[in-house]
Structure 1
Amino acid sequence: APTSTPSPSASTKGLLSPLKYKVSLKGQYQTTNYYCVPASSSMSLSTFGVKVSQSTLAKKMKTTASGGTKGKYAIPVINTYLKSKGYKVSSTTDADGNALKLMDRVSTQVGELHKAPVLAVWMEQLPWNKGKVKGEKVGHAIIAYGYDKLANTITVYDPWKPTGGSHTISASTLAKVLQSGGNMYYISKS
């Protein structure tokens, strides 16, 4: 009987990524209380070899003290930097509350592409902020730069200096704190 080699389909794509991987990264803390998106975007872009400051990104992304940064402004700015590199980011909404989908998305971006995506989270719900951040549904941006499928953990860098830095969190806990309106700036080849 003829044998056929199946070509990787969307369903097997995540299975091709290594069991664990970490992108080498220089962490950054946000330089103002409201620069979480510019700080996270600057770190994410650095994994493409793009060096751009938080303040430059904040200006281009129309970041304000009162409103922070809106994804509709941030994504096109990131894409202008990525275009020449052959990549793009888009907002995805299928990983909040779904640890399997989150791990699949993170392992594809981190393990296969060796890039660190920006994640949109609720700040006060992150385990390291419990009882330290007041408010409900406080929008925040962090990046994912590592994962371990066997331990089911994701390593993130949170740019908020008082509690942030590098943290390893279970995929299920992280999936629960993702913003439902847009979970991440998902990196793909353009």
Structure 2
Amino acid sequence: MSDTEKALRRSDATRHAILVAARERFAAEGYDRATIRAIAKEAKIDPSMVMRYYGSKEGLYAAALDVDLRLPDPAGLDPRDVGRVLVTHFLDLWEENEVLSALLRVGATSQAGAERIQGVFRDQLIPLARRVCPEPEQAPIRAALIASQVLGLALTRYVLRLPPAVALGREEIVEWLAPTIQRYLTAPRP
């Protein structure tokens, strides 16, 4: 292995350690209270390295909570099954990705976090709704209703850990939420 390859591996490991520490700090303390110094200490590096890789606290926050929901393409789905597919997809995301819990915690407590969630909503969920709903101009409203259900479930199950929400099995959640999500996407506007 060349010296360049070794340096790249060390760099990647350092970036990863910083991001893991940042996610934990942002989730536990919120954006405003988390400090570069505390994140660096947790990552076992000098604070200057955080600034070298991410430039600022804002840059670190954006990188640490960069979220690609990897939403399924509705074009390949039966239109009557989109709600079920989305609920299952969101459950998979929340259960395998600690970034989403951190994003939700920070989003509820800081303007920077709220703006990050708004960006994910605007850039990822509205376009999906636009491709599914019968009247594309209603996509923002329908996407907001979907977000209210998905984020509400995530808050109660993965952040607050309310016992009844935690006790629900995956299939039960899908059975409860899929018809609501489906209705939000495809039902005629009331």
Q: Quick check: TM above 0.5?
A: no
- Tell which structure's C-alpha radius of gyration is larger: 2
Select the structure that is richer in strand: 1
Select the structure that is richer in helix: 2
Higher relative contact order (CA 8 A, sep 6+): 1
